[in-house]
Amino acid sequence: MRLKDKVAIITGGAQGIGKSYAMGFADEGAKVVIADINLEAAKATAETIRERGGQALAIRTDVSSLEDTQEMVRKTVERFGRVDILVNNAAIFGRVPISRAAPFYELELSEWDRTWEVNVKGIFLCCRAVFPHMKAQGGGKIINISSTQFYRGGSPYLKYAHYVAQKGAIIGLTRALARELGEYNINVNCIAPGSTFSEEPTDTAALERRKKAAERRAIKRVEYPDDLVGTAVFLASSDSDFVSGQTIVVDGGDIMH
């Protein structure tokens, strides 16, 4: 078990890709904190982990809130005594109404501002919240989640200027924090997933986009949440102790940057 007795906070860990990270980390021996704005879903994921013999804690967390992120870490340390790993997975994407696909000149300022608050400010706040504890204990691992949409500049089918810009900002923040936190033995890295089948598409257009994404890849199949877990475990474990400031693209060989 590569994460035995490590304590991992996973934001947005109640469902989708975040749930896969949570289950995978628990299977590797980590004590997992599911920090999600949907508390009931977080509790359900935590209960599943416990039923499988693991340890888990569910905490309602709005990552855009300073108070919530500080309370998230306080409760984690109160329950498990430390925090070794932070996975900044929480994000607003297209299926959330406020993050609709639209030309940049049609975006409401409220859409721009709210998605930045969660997708970028949320990572900043979570990193600030765990930093004192990781510094005091002599190290830690921070894993941020970007997207291949940054490298692609968006999609020919959907216009997401705000989302693309945010995912680029996450890569920049990852590099800056890796420089700042390296002296404290804190590794900061990033994963950029491709188009991932985290839930059943609701229309034929979405299914067609998944098909086209698979056709572009060197490995010509749909990407699933479990395809990302191995990379996350690597970055969370001692196997990556000399890796920092990096973005690993996990998309089956589509974007080769």
In this structure, of 119-128, 142-151, 209-218, the range with the lowest mean pLDDT score is 209-218
DSSP-derived pairing of the beta strands 247-250 and 85-88: unpaired
Higher pLDDT: 96 or 243? It is 243
**pLDDT value at position 45?**
98
More confident site: 5 or 205: 5
CA 229, distance to chain mean position in Å, is: 11
Say whether pLDDT at 61 is over 90. yes
Q: For residue 255, is it within any domain?
A: no
Evaluate whether residue 83 is within a structural domain: yes
Mean pLDDT of 116-129: 98
Percent of the chain past pLDDT 70, that is, above it, reads: 93
Phi first, then psi, for residue 142 (nearest 5°) are: -115, 130
- Does residue 256 sit within a domain? no
- 163 counts as catalytic: yes
Highest mean pLDDT among 109-123, 154-168, 211-225: 109-123
Q: Determine which one of 21, 151, 160, 163 is catalytic.
A: 163
| Residue at 257 is within a domain | no
Residue 140: inside a domain: yes
- On the question of pLDDT at 125 being above 60, the answer is yes
pLDDT of 98 reads: 45
Question: Mean per-residue pLDDT for 59-68?
Answer: 98
Q: How much is the pTM?
A: 0.94
Q: Is the pLDDT of residue 16 over 70?
A: yes
CA-wise closest residue to 9 among 66, 78, 88? 88
Quick check: is 133 in a domain?
yes
Residue 80 located in a structural domain: yes
Burial 132-167, CB ≥16 within 10 A → b, else e: ebbeeeeebbbbbbbbbbbbbebbeeebbbbbbbbb
Q: Is residue 140 within 8 Å of residue 183, measured between CB atoms?
A: no
Which whole number is the average pLDDT over 136-141? Answer: 98
pLDDT score at 252: 95
Give the least confident one: 66-75, 101-110, 126-135, 232-241: 101-110
* Residue 58 · residue 39 · CB < 8 Å: yes
CATH number of the domain encompassing residue 163: 3.40.50.720
Amino acid 10: pLDDT:
98
Domain extent, residue 206, equals: 7-250
Task: Grade residue 214 by pLDDT with cuts at 50, 70 and 90.
Answer: confident
Q: Number of folded domains in the chain?
A: 1
For residue 200, the SS3 value is coil
Per-residue model confidence (pLDDT) at position 199: 65
pLDDT tier at 203, thresholds 50, 70, 90: low
